[in-house]
Amino acid sequence: MQDTFEISRRGLLAGALGASGLLLPAGMAHADEPKQGGHFRIGVADFASSDVLDPTITNTQFQVNLEWQLRNNLAEVQAGGKVIPELAESWDASKDAKTWTFKLRKGVTFHNGKSLTPEDVVYSYRLHMKEGTKTPAKPIVAQVADIKADGDAVVFTLKDGNVSFPALTTYAALYIVPDGTTDFAKGVGTGGYTLENFQPGISSLVKRNPNYFKAGRAHFDSVEMIAMKDATARANALLTGKIDTYNAVDPKTVKLLDRNKQIKINSVTSKAHFCFAMLMNQAPFTDNDVRLAMKYAIDREDMVKRILNGYGSLGNDEPLSPAYPEYAALPQRAYDPDKAKFHLKKANQEGLKTQLYVSETPFAGATDAAVLYKEHAAKAGIEIEVVKTPEDGYWDNIWLKKPLCATRWSGRVNADVMLSLAYTEEGIKAGWNETNMNDPRVNKLVADARSEFDEAKRNDMYAEAQKIIHETGGANIFAFAALMDATISTVQNDGKLSGDWTLDGGRASERWWFA
Amino acid sequence: MNVIGAIIAKRVGLGLFTLFVISLLVFFAIQLLPGDPASAILGQGATPEALASFRHELGLDQTPLIRYLAWASGLLHGDPGHSLANGRLVADLIGERLGNTVYLAAVSTAIAMPIGVALGVMATLMRGRVWDSITSTLSLVTISFPEFFIAYILVAVFSVSLGWLPAVAFAEAGQTGWQRFANVALPAITLSLTVIAYVMRMTRAALMNVMAAPYIEMAQLKGTRPFAIVVRHALPNALAPIINVVLLNLAYLIVGVVVVEVVFVYPGLGQLLVDSVSKRDLPVVQACCMIFAAVYVLLNLTADILAILSNPRLRRPRRTAA
């Protein structure tokens, strides 16, 4: 959810940033062994006064970061996409990948002193499986037929085999809470910090949990997060030493910040992508030649340069970036008005006119991107009318309804989730398939890959699916975003930042430290 | 003083009626917005079943009239209800933010009012001279600049370059009273600049009006010093419009500062209202609007009463023929 109250103030910051610098203590340090201590203050851009600590209602980055300060999942994704055990110690699957046994770590206690037991895990998952739950984890728990405690382990029985099920348990909602919890506001979990204070939409404060089960994690004595909507306010707060880190750096001013020696910009290639989605079941996009024409009619390099100020990479009409282990390199589609015209002619749609629906809800700059696309497409003889719609209600009234609209996707944990959610028949049922792509071959590849233990074979299947989406899909994916955090230079990390979300995949509080 | 009692009673009655009408307007205006709390809160990932169950849980499947009546009867019993978005008590959500908003408004007023009136008096004393033109031009400039622009300039100069004042105003743990004041200094100055300009211009205009009166000429002929003429003779007769503009600006400081709140990361009511409208969180929106409306009604009432008290002619109105 994004409901940003933004004011355009391009360039206003220039003066503020130019004159900065001298104020901050000159603490240039090098990445060493993690050190314990300090009060870490984070300015978080994405938050809402409706934030809660109920795992089944997960909206904002503020909430995700706070949840991972307080709680843990069964497994955790490392930077680069490797899934490692968290509250689970190890896991095993049956041959058909339908039965998964997670052995729990021993000696883990919740903040209230209770020991972690398999019943806690069962209870935490059942929260998402209850009748009438609002959980965003529905597509994941829908695969689970049964979950039960077995000695010191938890056994999941899936409806269909899924070799990457452990990866799904890392999802930012499947946090483990003590059995029987109904008052989530206390924030009781097993995490590296305990809750001191949480005011939704304003701030949160946590203190280090001395009994944390992970060695070498959660280095700060305390972590404070402050909700800061305005990008300039975040930058000013960092420059004047009121915070140590903030996320969602404005690409328009990042170069100015980067000049300041006291400030580091952490920029990571992400899984997040920008897209103009064509509904394949609505005219004129039922015809693949029209879709191809639309894809050849966009200048991706210009988009990255002007809309993302160079902080991003080219998209190639399929949703996997190199940040996914399953990524397969395909020839880059280039801007080619002549090819676009050729395909239009083939489709008998010369002089195509179409409307592109847009608002700033999917991403800041979406309107600019649409207008730029209109200019690119005009050279290919396509007339795009940019229809600006209200930011409110965009996902309800425009997305999945209008034949052509702007969208943005955050990363998903693996290729399976990304592809099945947005490019298969399952995704249509779940209400996430924004192009209404329903290709039997892709459906089958994605479903089969789920029960293929051989990684090489599995990656071949994903590669074929990516190729089909690239060639025939309705997603005009023109760029992948770079995720950018700004920190003061004393804030250290191990050099491997997650490309899933900003702030090291929402886990900066437990992975970073002060030099 | 009977007259004033009657006026207060009448205006309080009217004020309550205004509040009622506003509550209706706000309630039904929100019904007209696309989407509802359920879809706004669940966002892009909402599934139809989740929406249906959430709507039921929030009571959105009832008719608007029933929901309005439930809300109104709660309010009359002193309970503004729970937030639809996070289930917290509206009173809790609003309490601290209201305190913040009032504090910022009070600090801004304390800065702006004396300076504004003093500048107005000075401009009157030096009317037609360079000082008068300078203050008059500067006041127009500050009124015309958008607040966020003034805010960024002040931040660039006073926090980033000089390092005198904090760039953001959020509260930190263990703050002393003085630190709290320093924290809101920049937002308060930002707000004050515009208010000073209004108050100054209004003071000058009201004084100039009075200065044309024969009794001022009389005072001048008597040889009274210009300062005494303006402050002792003219100002008391110009008080009514000045009080008016001061109180209306106070109302503006309480209800209209969301941009400044966002720029300075100050958790006040304005930001809560914007957030709540986008979430269609009706009880919170209603509560905020009721507070804002009540502030306006009260301050208007105060302005009128003070105007009457400050003017003996209004205090004892001539009796009209029965």
In sequence order, the 6+-apart residues with CB closer than 8 A to the CB of B59 are B67, B70
C-alpha distance from A242 to closest chain B C-alpha (Å)? 8
Listed residue (A254, A228, A190) closest to A41, CA to CA: A228
Q: What is the mean pLDDT of residues B228-235?
A: 85
As a whole number of angstroms, the distance between CA A418 and CA B144 comes to 50
Asked if A12's CB is within 8 angstroms of B149's CB, the reply is: yes
| pLDDT at position A179 | 94
Give A58-94 pLDDT, tens digit per residue. Answer: 768 899 999 999 999 999 988 777 889 999 999 999 9
Q: Does B143 touch chain A (CB under 8 A)?
A: no
- Count contacts between A and B (CB, < 8 Å): 158
Q: Does B34 touch chain A (CB under 8 A)?
A: yes
Contact between A36 and B265 under an 8 Å Cβ cutoff? The reply is: no
Mean pLDDT of chain B: 82
Asked if A132's CB is within 8 angstroms of B57's CB, the reply is: yes
Q: How confident is the model at residue A18 (pLDDT cuts 50, 70, 90)?
A: very low
In sequence order, the 6+-apart residues with CB closer than 8 A to the CB of A205 are A196, A197, A198, A222, A223, A224, B173
C-alpha distance from B125 to closest chain A C-alpha (Å)? 38
Asked if B156's CB is within 8 angstroms of A16's CB, the reply is: yes
Give B116-136 pLDDT, tens digit per residue. Answer: 999 998 888 888 888 888 988
Asked if A201's CB is within 8 angstroms of B276's CB, the reply is: no
Q: How confident is the model at residue A187 (pLDDT cuts 50, 70, 90)?
A: very high
Closest in B48, B56, B86 to A200, CB measured: B86
Asked if A50's CB is within 8 angstroms of B47's CB, the reply is: no
Which chain A residues have a beta carbon less than 8 Å from that of B173? 205, 224
Preceding peptide of A55 cis, ω within 30°: no
Q: How many residues does chain A have?
A: 515
Q: Does B257 touch chain A (CB under 8 A)?
A: no
Contacts made by residues A366-375, CB under 8 angstroms, sequence distance 24+ = A366/A274, A366/A406, A366/A408, A368/A306, A368/A307, A369/A274, A369/A303, A369/A307, A369/A406, A369/A478, A370/A276, A370/A406, A372/A302, A372/A303, A372/A306, A372/A307, A373/A276, A373/A297, A373/A298, A373/A303, A373/A478
AA identity, residue B217: E
Asked if B152's CB is within 8 angstroms of A49's CB, the reply is: no
Cross-strand pairs, A103: A90, A153
Best A236, A359, A432, A434 residue to mutate vs chain B (most B CBs within 10 Å): A236
Closest in A5, A17, A236 to B168, CB measured: A236
DSSP reduced 3-state for B85 = coil
* Cα nearest neighbour of B273 on chain A: A49
Residue matched to tokens 């949703």: A319
Other CB atoms within a 10 A radius of the CB of residue B133 amount to: 13
Asked if A392's CB is within 8 angstroms of B278's CB, the reply is: yes
| pLDDT at position B170 | 77
Chain B, residues 158-187, CB within 8 A of chain A, namely 159-161, 163, 166-168, 170, 173
C-alpha distance from B278 to closest chain A C-alpha (Å)? 7
| pLDDT at position B184 | 86
Asked if B33's CB is within 8 angstroms of A134's CB, the reply is: no
Q: What is the mean pLDDT of residues A422-440?
A: 89
| pLDDT at position B316 | 67
Residue B319 has pLDDT above 70, yes or no: no
Give B268-312 pLDDT, tens digit per residue. Answer: 888 888 888 877 788 888 888 888 888 888 888 888 888 777 777
In sequence order, the 6+-apart residues with CB closer than 8 A to the CB of A1 are A46, A48, A59, A60, B40, B41, B43, B44
Which chain A residues have a beta carbon less than 8 Å from that of B278? 3, 392
Q: How confident is the model at residue B173 (pLDDT cuts 50, 70, 90)?
A: low
Contact between B114 and A79 under an 8 Å Cβ cutoff? The reply is: no
Cross-strand pairs, A102: A91, A154
Q: How far is CA A317 from CA A277, A333, A375, A418, B69, in A?
A: 10, 8, 19, 14, 52
Which chain B residues have a beta carbon less than 8 Å from that of A142? none
Helical segments of chain B, H only? 2-32, 37-42, 48-58, 64-76, 90-125, 130-144, 147-154, 177-183, 185-211, 214-222, 226-228, 235-255, 258-263, 269-278, 282-309, 312-315
Listed residue (A455, A456, A454, A418) closest to A437, CA to CA: A418
Which chain A residues have a beta carbon less than 8 Å from that of B159? 236, 239-240
Q: Give the ipTM of the model, two decimals please.
A: 0.75
| pLDDT at position A297 | 95
C-alpha distance from B194 to closest chain A C-alpha (Å)? 19
Beta strands in A151-290 (DSSP E): 153-158, 193-199, 203-208, 222-227, 245-247, 263-278
Contact between B194 and B147 under an 8 Å Cβ cutoff? The reply is: yes
Q: Does B48 touch chain A (CB under 8 A)?
A: yes
Contact between A225 and A40 under an 8 Å Cβ cutoff? The reply is: no
Residue A17 has pLDDT above 60, yes or no: no
Closest in B42, B50, B170 to A226, CB measured: B170
Q: Does B271 touch chain A (CB under 8 A)?
A: yes
Which chain A residues have a beta carbon less than 8 Å from that of B155? 16, 236
B59 or B19, higher pLDDT: B19
C-alpha distance from A340 to closest chain B C-alpha (Å)? 32
| pLDDT at position A27 | 39
Which chain A residues have a beta carbon less than 8 Å from that of B54? 134
Cα–Cα–Cα angle for A420, A312, A399, rounded to 5 degrees: 45
Contact between B99 and B176 under an 8 Å Cβ cutoff? The reply is: no
Give B176-200 pLDDT, tens digit per residue. Answer: 777 788 888 889 999 899 889 989 9
Which chain B residues have a beta carbon less than 8 Å from that of A242? 166-168, 170
Residue matched to tokens 């937002």: B187
Q: Does B50 touch chain A (CB under 8 A)?
A: yes
Q: How confident is the model at residue A9 (pLDDT cuts 50, 70, 90)?
A: very low
A251 or A354, higher pLDDT: A354
Which chain B residues have a beta carbon less than 8 Å from that of A17? 160
Q: Does B208 touch chain A (CB under 8 A)?
A: no
- Token pair, residue B264, equals 């300075």
Closest in A50, A201, A239 to B41, CB measured: A50
Asked if A237's CB is within 8 angstroms of B168's CB, the reply is: yes
As a whole number of angstroms, the distance between CA B124 and CA B120 comes to 6
Contact between A219 and A513 under an 8 Å Cβ cutoff? The reply is: yes
C-alpha distance from B195 to closest chain A C-alpha (Å)? 22
A297 or B28, higher pLDDT: A297
Torsion angle, CA of A162/A467/A501/A15, rounded to 10 degrees? 180
Longest CA pairwise span in chain B (Å): 86
Closest in A17, A237, A392 to B34, CB measured: A392
In sequence order, the 6+-apart residues with CB closer than 8 A to the CB of A78 are A84, A496, A498
Which chain A residues have a beta carbon less than 8 Å from that of B43? 1, 59, 395
Can you say how many angstroms the Cα of residue B300 is from the centroid of all Cα atoms in its chain? 11
Closest in A23, A203, A430 to B163, CB measured: A23
Closest in A50, A236, A390 to B86, CB measured: A50
A514 or A135, higher pLDDT: A514
C-alpha distance from A257 to closest chain B C-alpha (Å)? 13
Asked if B167's CB is within 8 angstroms of A236's CB, the reply is: yes
As a whole number of angstroms, the distance between CA A199 and CA B170 comes to 12
